[in-house]
Amino acid sequence: MRRGFQVAAPLLPAAVALGVSFGVLARAAHWSAAAAVVMSATTFAGSAQVATVSVLGAGGGVAAAVVAALLLNARYAPIGITVAESFRGRFLRRLAEAQLVIDESWALSGGGTPGFDRGVLLGAGVALWIGWTGGTAVGALLGGVIGNPSSFGLDGAFAALFLALLASQLRSRRAVAAATGGALIAALLTPVAPPGVPILAASLAALAGWSRS
């Protein structure tokens, strides 16, 4: 665990900063500070949280927001499976520890490789959770003070944030293909489908992962 804290230290500022960004953006989109913090503490996944705020704000409705967010987090099923064998003990303990598996803690711990270190996974997960939830609280308070002026460029800030999150996912040729397909589907459907649908339909581009690499 302690090694996990040390290994996660360089990523902590980024987790705090993204948490602050989420808190500020959520407040600017007229969310309460409590909702932003509760979401960070339970969902603990940046892309899905920002997508929820974004789709709701665009008038996509609860169903579209929830489905888009959960599709974004669907990657945690395969990620969790790669480290499943190291989780032992009672149901509640495994359930709690499983929540510490996020992109960053999984990558730091060497998830899916022979050198996988469970202590690093859990330690990094705890450190990043504290940074993420704490950052959200700070951002939600700041956002309340800044108030409406920040909503002026809010849509541009959201777009830039999604771009940054996307860049961090483009680690393989298949990921680039999936992203290109997703962007094309969203662009083609926007003129003809209700808000929310173009984003959900873009998930079809994930079939780029079907081929054996």
Candidates 23, 49, 122, 136: give the one binding another protein (CB under 8 A): 49
C-beta closer to another protein: residue 7 or 198: 198
d(CA 204, CA 168) in angstroms, rounded, equals 20
User: Is the four-CA dihedral 70, 75, 76, 77 of positive or negative sign?
Assistant: positive
- Binding segment for another protein among 1-9, 126-134, 162-170 (CB under 8 A)? 162-170
Nearest to 206 by CA among 73, 82, 108, 104: 73
The distance of closest approach from Cβ of residue 158 to another protein in the complex, given in angstroms and rounded to an integer, is 5
- Select 7 or 23, whichever has its Cβ closest to another protein: 23
Nearest partner of 29 among 145, 158, 196, judged by Cα: 158
**Directed axis angle between helix 33-42 and helix 46-57, to 10°?**
140
Q: Which residue lies nearer to another protein by CB, 7 or 54? A: 54
Collect all residues with Cβ–Cβ distance below 8 Å to 71 and sequence separation of at least 6. 200, 203
Q: Is 155 in the site for another protein (CB under 8 A)?
A: yes
Residues 7-46 that bind another protein (CB under 8 A): 13-14, 17-18, 20-21, 25, 31-32, 35, 38-39, 42-45
Q: How many angstroms separate the Cα of 33 from the Cα of each of 22, 28, 41, 151, 178?
A: 11, 10, 12, 16, 34
By CB under 8 A, the residues from 193 to 212 that bind another protein are: 193, 195, 198-199, 202-212
Span 77-116, contacts to another protein by CB under 8 A = 77-85, 87, 91, 94-95, 97-99, 101
- Does 170 sit near another protein (CB under 8 A)? yes
